[in-house]
Amino acid sequence: MPVACPELPDLVPVPGVKLASAAAGIRYKGRDDLLLVELAEGSQCAAVFTRNAFCAAPVIVAKQHLAISRPRYLLINSGNANAGTGDPGVAAARHSCGELAQKAGCATEQVLPFSTGVIGEPLPVERIEAVLEKAINGLSEDGWATAARTIMTTDTVPKGVSRVIDLAGQQVVITGIAKGSGMIRPDMATMLAYIATDANVDPESLQVCLDEAVEQSFNRITVDGDTSTNDACVLMASGAAQMPMLSLDQPAFKLFSAAVNEVCRELAQLIVRDAEGATKFVTIRIEDGVDSEECLRVGYTIAHSPLIKTALFASDPNWGRILAAIGRAGIKDLDTHCVDIALDDVWIVRGGGRDPDYREEAGQRVMSQEEILIRVRLGRGSACETVWTCDLSHEYVKINAEYRS
């Protein structure tokens, strides 16, 4: 069960962006598994992708198309990753784009393909082709909630966020959906996320906005330390709002960028809350580091430790495991006498050793909570970074052991 994960809110339609879902039977029976997104003519689109060397065929094709054309459609399937499929997989992704382009009346390069699911299996292109006409005819600005469910794989809940902000007297909508539950250790972003706005944003500024938002959200979460082959995050701006074009040097852009950051951060945290088998939502805050890099190194060393993650699952305040993880994080010249560690408001280590006032029952109280803060002060500088993660449960092992069953 997800950890304190709210129900899907009412997602606000984005003028200039339409969606449709269809059941293609790619892997799942009796549910939608194909999502089509249509962008109004003139829309801008920014994207970031996985850095996994074995990036999936749709990632290869989407990057190529985005570099030479302004997208009109996103074609997304769940249940099959079309990764590890070599040249035939790339051909299949391109063929799907071509089929949609022919039916929708646009250039093949104006279609961006995305896939998520099992790696190493051929994409059943014919099943996608069979429902494209239905999807095109079903396009609607009200399709966000269904879309959030369509892209799910091992997710247990759909994930979506909306914000309506005021920019110089003009209301602007930002709505996003995401999927992800396992194989989560972003090196861009280990999931799929699609965020749309009706704001008018110049393309360079839109990409900067997305890069910054991803770095502070999807690139700050981890479930199991594994980076997927198919990661992608797309920010679409339809320009349907009646407003001047936003660019980096405008005060209104800062407000817009802050709202996009908020949407991405909330989506990222929803992924961790719905992590495979998770029973704890854990915030790891590393303070007083020399720079961001070393704070993140310590944060991820703690977040990826199986010993710490299993202790979290057991609600066991075995703080020695946290201490050991900090020590092996590879921080040069770390003065352990300057390190402090707390669980929420309970200080367990001060000056590199057990706090004289620490009591096991206080640590137990915190570890028994669904939401836990692990706070580390390195005593080396002023840098601070936050990472969000979860525990490691029996259910995580079961889900991934049976994933292809």
Query: Please, are residues 40 and 240 in contact by the beta-carbon 8 Å criterion?
Result: yes
DSSP β-ladder status, 281-289 and 371-377: parallel
Give one DSSP letter per residue of 62-109, joined into a string: HHHHHHHS---EEEEEEEE---S-HHHHHHHHHHHHHHHHHHHTS-GG
Catalytic: 190? yes
Which of 190, 197, 229, 301 is catalytic? The answer is 190
HEC string of 156-186 equals CCCEEEEEEEEECCEEEEEEEEEECCCCCCC
CB of 123 within 8 A of CB of 19? Answer: no
**Could you give the 3-state DSSP secondary structure of residue 121?**
coil
Q: Strand 383-390 relative to strand 346-350: parallel, antiparallel, unpaired?
A: unpaired
Rg of the chain, C-alpha, whole Å: 22
* CA angle (289, 293, 294) in 5-degree steps: 45
CA-CA distance, 331 to 295, in Å (whole number)?
9
CB-based contact 173:162 (threshold 8 Å): yes
> Which sequence positions are flagged as catalytic?
190
